[in-house]
Amino acid sequence: MSYDDLMEYDEVMERFDPVLGLEVHVELNTASKMFCSCSTGFGGEPNSQTCPVCLGLPGSLPVVNGKAVESAIRIGLALNCGIATWCRFARKNYFYPDMTKDFQTSQYDEPICFDGHVEIDVDGESFEIPIERAHMEEDAGKSLHVGGATGRIAGADYSLLDYNRAGVPLIEIVTKPVYGTGAKAPEVARAYVSFLRDMMKALGVSDVRMEQGSLRCDANVSLMPKGSTQLGTRTETKNVNSLRSIEKALRYEICRQGAILASGGRVKQETRHWLEVSGVTAPGRSKEQAEDYRYFPEPDLVPIAPSREWVEELRATIPEVPAVRYERLRGEWGYTELEMQAVIAAQGVDLIAATIEAGASPQAARKWWMSELSRQANALGVDLEELSITATQVAQVQALIDEGAINDKIARTVIDAVLAGEGEPRQIVAAKGLAVVSDSSALQEAVDAAIAEHADVADKIREGKTAAVGALIGSVMKSMKGQADASAVRELILGRLAP
C-alpha cells in the first residue's frame, strides 16, 4: 500500500484549527431486538437469532421495543437533550447485503432526543460538546469475508452473512461541529467517548464494550485555516474500536489533511477506515449524501409520543454524571486530585472501584492498577480493562501480601502468571511454591550466614550504624531467592546485632 504524506502535528496546529464531529453508536442491552422478539445475545451460532421481521421477509410487521424507547429517552436526558413529544421512524434506503430489507429503520428529521450538551474535562480544562441529536435505529448484520489474507472483501473467495445482529437496537448520538479544541482535539474526542461510555454504563443501558462493537465511534474531522470561519471538507473515520485508537486516528487524519491542504490540494469527502495494525487511515467508499438514502417516514410503525409524565419519571432515574461521581469517589478513597486524574485518564475508575469492592484498600488498588498493570497495558498497547486479570484477582494478590504469604516482588511474578492465564493467584502461589519463607529457623539460618559472610557490615551495625542493615537484608533476600519478608529479615538482623 502507499503511504500518505503527513505534516508534523505542531505545524498543522500553527496553520489550522481542527473541527470535530463525533457519531457514536451505542448498542442497547435490551433482551430482544428493536422491532421483533429475537434475542440480542452476543456470540450465538450465526443466524440462530433471526425471524421474518429482522430478516425483512415480505409481509412481516415490526413492533417497537418499549424498553429501547425508554433507554433512548434516558440517554437523551443524561445528555441534557430535549425529548420529542412526537416523532417517527424513517426508512433509510440502501442496498447492502448485511441489511436484507434494503433499508435500515432509523430516524431522520424527527429524532427522539435533540439539542443537548455535555461538559467534559481534559487536563483540568473544560470543553462543552454540543449534541445535535440522539436517535433510535437498528443495527445491521455482519459480513465475514473468507479466503483472503486480510479478512477484507478484496481478495476474498466468498462472503458469509450473519443476521444475528440485524435489528439490535442502537442509539446514534451525533454532535454538532465541535470548535475551539485546538491541539487537544484528539484528546477531547477521546474524553467525550470515554464520558459517553461511563455515562451509558452508569445508566445501565448498554454493555458499552468497544471491542465487541457495542460502542462504536465514527470520528469526523476537518481543518479550518486559522482566522477563517469557513468549514473545511471533513472525512469520517470508521472502525475506531478503542479509546486510544480514537485519539490516534484523529491525530493521523489531522496530519494527513494538513499535508494535503498545505500543498494546495483538496481533501476528499469520504469514509475512511482506521487500520489498527499499521496505524493509518485508508479510504473506504465515498460518502453518501443524505439525499442518496431517499429517507421517508416508516409506514409500518406508529409514531412515538412519550407523555411528559413518563419523561419526568425517567428523569428521576438519571444517575450522577461521571465527573460528579469521580469527585465523590476521590473523597471516599482519599486520593489527591492528581492521583484521581491519572486514574480517570487511564480508564481505571471502575477497575479500582471493583478492586476495593473485592477487599483491597484504595491505596493498594491504585498502586497495582496505576503502576505494574498500567506498565503492562502500555507495553501491550491495550487499555487496562483489556488485560486478562480481573479486579477480584488483583484484590486476591493484595490479600496474599497482607497475609504475609508473599511480598511485593513475588506479587509481580504472580500477576505475570495470572496475565499468562496460569490460574488464580492462590493456586499460582501454591503451584509454583512462591510463598515467602515464614519458617523462622530457616530465616534465622540465612541471617546468620549473611552476618558471617559480611563481618565488616555486621561490625558497623553493632557500633550503631543501623543504616548499614540494607546490605545484609539484600544478601539474605538474595540467598532466599526473594522469597522472604524484608521487614522480618530486618528485625532478625537487628535482633542479633543491635547494640
**Is position 34 an interface residue for Zn ion (rule: CB under 5 A)?**
no
Each residue 53-92 as x (binds Zn ion by CB under 5 A) or -, in order, gives xx--------------------------------------
**Residues with Cβ within 8 Å of residue 313, at least 6 apart in sequence:** none
Nearest distance in Å: CB 53, Zn ion: 5
Closest to Zn ion by CB, 59 or 433? 59
Closest approach of Zn ion to the CB of residue 271, in Å:
28
* Of 19, 20, 22, 36, the one binding Zn ion by CB under 5 A: 36
**Minimum separation from the CB atom of position 59 to Zn ion (A):** 14
Q: Which alpha helices (DSSP H) does 381-424 contain, by range?
A: 391-402, 408-419
Nearer to Zn ion, 51 or 437 (CB): 51
Considering the complex, state which of residue 54 and residue 134 has its C-beta at the smaller distance from Zn ion: 54
* Cβ at position 220, least distance to Zn ion in Å: 32
Buried-state track 431-456, b at ≥16 Cβ within 10 A, e below 16: eeebbbbeeeeebeebbeebbeebee
| Cβ 52 to Zn ion shortest distance, Å | 7
DSSP letters, 339-375, are HHHHHHHTT-HHHHHHHHHTT--HHHHHHIIIIIHHH
Q: How much is the CA Rg of the chain, to the nearest whole Å? A: 29
Q: Which stretch binds Zn ion (CB under 5 A): 45-53, 73-81, 215-223, 240-248?
A: 45-53
Minimum distance from residue 163 beta carbon to Zn ion (Å): 8
Bridge partners, residue 83, by sequence: 113
Q: Does 168 bind Zn ion (CB under 5 A)?
A: no
Query: For the sheet containing 270-275, what is the strand order?
Result: 82-83, 113-122, 125-138, 169-175, 16-27, 215-225, 235-240, 270-275, 280-286
Which residue is listed with cell 429503520? Answer: 105
The closest alpha carbon to 469, from 443, 494, 499, belongs to 494
Our CB check for Zn ion shows the closer of 100 and 479 to be 100
Give the β-pairing of 270-275 and 235-240.
parallel
Q: Please report how close the Cβ of residue 142 comes to Zn ion at its closest, in angstroms.
A: 15
- Helix, strand, coil share of the chain (percent; to 5): 40, 20, 40
Among 6, 13, 20, 38, binds Zn ion (CB under 5 A): 38
Residue 51 is a binding residue for Zn ion (CB under 5 A) = yes
Choose one: 52-60, 97-105, 275-283, 409-417; the region binding Zn ion (CB under 5 A). Answer: 52-60
Q: Which residues contact Zn ion (rule: CB under 5 A)?
A: 36, 38, 51, 53-54
